[in-house]
Amino acid sequence: MRRPGPLLCAALAAAAVALLAPLPPAAIAADCPLDFSWPNFALIASVCSDQNGHSKCCRYINAVLAVSSAMYANTTGTLGVPSELADACIRNISDTFVSNGILPTAASFCGLGIKIQASYQCVGMTTIVQMLQSPNFSDVTRNCATSLPDAVSCKRCLNSGLSYLRHLVGEQDNVTLNTCRDAAFVAFVSQGNISTLDTAGCFFSVQELSALQVNISTSSPAGYPAPNISPSPFASQIPGEHVAEVSSNHHHSYKRVIFPAVGALVTGLSVTLLVVLILLIRRKSKELEKIEGINPLKVLSSCVTKGQEGTSTIFGRFSYAEMRRATRNFSTTLGGNDNATIFKGQLSNGSVVAIKRIESSPKQDLLAFCKEMEFLGRLHHRHLVGLKGYCLTKFERFQVYEYMENGSLKDHLHCNTSRLMFHSHSMSYATSFVELCAEKHSSLCSVR
């Protein structure tokens, strides 16, 4: 058998070396449809070189991969790359990072390919349409459609996204939660005129991402012609940013109108209640002026000074409220006539009195009442009830007398037995007198 020549052996050896040698990055990139040529990696390299900036470095790597996946999704409608191309894309981005000055260890401590994946299959959903039509995703669209660089708007967007992921994923591991978060980002930015970098800066907490020199293109990398899938079907099936913006503007416009209206209504009601309260107070004051509109001191002072022989009388002065309170709102009637009514009353000091209410008019001459008070004040006798005081209003006069516990002289003269009160010793005196008369009468009859 003829042995192979040296030239043939050399050719076979060269072919074997060529087959076993690692493929260059350009060859690997041909297997990954993601475009990593758009960012300037200088900022990411500086962050990843900091020993205390590993967390921020990983967020940058995650954001770059998510933005590239969103560019790819604009032409394919899928959430990330197909699973059979995921490993190739992970190798591609790792080599790209190393070639741009990022530490080789960044891929390992960030979990590139494990926690940060290139295929965003989330709880069975693989397309943007499925994600957009999932329950509660419209809340994410509504809360994230505003300007996200604003801290308040970004926080509202993140809270809405976390709430959506909790309902969607439930109690899952961090890898599933991270993958679904990236899928939600890709689905959200595919809806229309939404700033991809601003949204990524909010989603991944890397606000400096917008400072990178970018040249984002929606076309597929060379060798991968874009399918006839456009973002317009997604925007037509799910309300896009324009609808969300209109809704947000309408909501803010509604708040700008309703708050001043409510404030004006509350102010108007407060002013109205204040006016009503003032009117009620003035009305009550006028009623009190009508009731107690006469100064009794002025009326009676002249009466006192006109007393005969320089004598003066001192009367107790009572208010209308005291009269009403003493008579239990004028319910304890003892008697009376057409012009006056007598009530039984009890003053605040506990003394029981008889209160005489005299009906009058504003035109009635007060001098007659004054003279009567002067005359009654000068009468002092143990068999006559004494005048204790008075109350004078615009329409009524009150005289306060001592209360006659055993009734009046009229009751006794007219034998009003219902008003007479006898003590036990008086009855015994009467009984003894009758018995004595009976004995005398019997003795006289026996002598005869």
Cα dist from 21 to 8, 15, 30, 416, whole Å? 20, 10, 17, 142
| Contact criterion met (CB below 8 Å) for 173 and 198 | no
pLDDT at 278: 94
pLDDT at 235: 34
State how far Cα 6 lies from the chain centre: 93
Who has greater pLDDT, 243 or 368? 368
In the predicted model, what is the mean pLDDT of residues 410-432? 58
The per-residue pLDDT for range 201-256, each reduced to its tens digit, is 888 888 766 666 455 544 444 334 433 333 333 333 333 434 344 445 545 555 67
* pLDDT range class, residue 270, cuts 50, 70, 90: very high
Bridge partners for 392 per DSSP: 397
81 contacts: CB under 8 Å, gap ≥ 6: 32, 33, 34, 69, 72, 89, 118, 119
Instruction: Record the tokens describing residue 318, joined without a space.
Output: 């009572």
Q: What's the pTM value of the predicted model, to 2 decimals? A: 0.44
- 325, pLDDT greater than 90: yes
* pLDDT range class, residue 417, cuts 50, 70, 90: low
Amino acid at 183: A
- 280, pLDDT greater than 60: yes
* pLDDT range class, residue 268, cuts 50, 70, 90: very high
The per-residue pLDDT for range 62-90, each reduced to its tens digit, is 988 898 889 898 889 998 888 888 888 88
pLDDT at 362: 52
What percent of the chain clears pLDDT 70, i.e. is strictly above it? 64
3-state secondary structure of 336: strand
In angstroms, the CA 203 to CA 184 distance is: 10
